[in-house]
Amino acid sequence: MEKEKYVEDLSEIRKIMSRSARFISLSGLSGVSTGIIALAGAWLVHQLVFRNHDYLVYEAAQIDAVNLSKLLLIALGTLLLSVFSALWFTDRKSRKENQHVWDNQAKRLLINLLIPLTTGGILCLIFLFKGFVGFLPALTLIFYGLALVNGSHYTLSHIRYLGIAEIVLGLFAFLFIDQSLYLWMLGFGVIQMIYGLMIQRKG
């Protein structure tokens, strides 16, 4: 009996230490929802912009103001919806587990995610306004992957593998630039959803 209590106490201590060192309130449903939103955004971009224009090339393309506005609006809408859904599902999980969402671990995680994401976002905007639209799927995959690897030190450790997968897909998107939008959908959509379902099952 005493041995069982000792094992339970050790298990509880490990949980407390894990919570104090890492942000563990990430919801699997947030990954599923952002994956669905990413697929919807990519479909809109394909239908409204890429369908009638050969932008997925290594050279700078002449992109008119209308298509530029469409790209920016879809990208911004996809980003805002993804962030909102991720925060909503994470907050719901935290409340269910009686944990604080905005603690020191969450702040560290956010900072380490934002450094690569902000850098990549600014670089993507520069490439977009210079006309190198074809580089955007690969760049967003790579910098998102770098952000996940960087942030994995402060949350669930296996998120690093998702980050590595995104980086590899980004490199392939550079190599096969004419198929880069489909690789983007695979990374931000399908793989993100699979990862979210795996986290949800474990949780």
pTM over 0.85: no
pLDDT tens per residue across span 60-84? 988 899 999 999 999 999 999 998 9
CB 101, CB 25: distance < 8 Å: yes
Name the average pLDDT for the chain.
Answer: 84
Burial of residue 174 (number of CB atoms within 10 Å: 0-12, 13-18, 19+): middle
Q: Scan for tokens 């919807």, then name that residue.
A: 40
pLDDT tens sequence across 143-192: 999 999 998 887 777 789 999 999 999 999 999 999 999 999 999 999 99
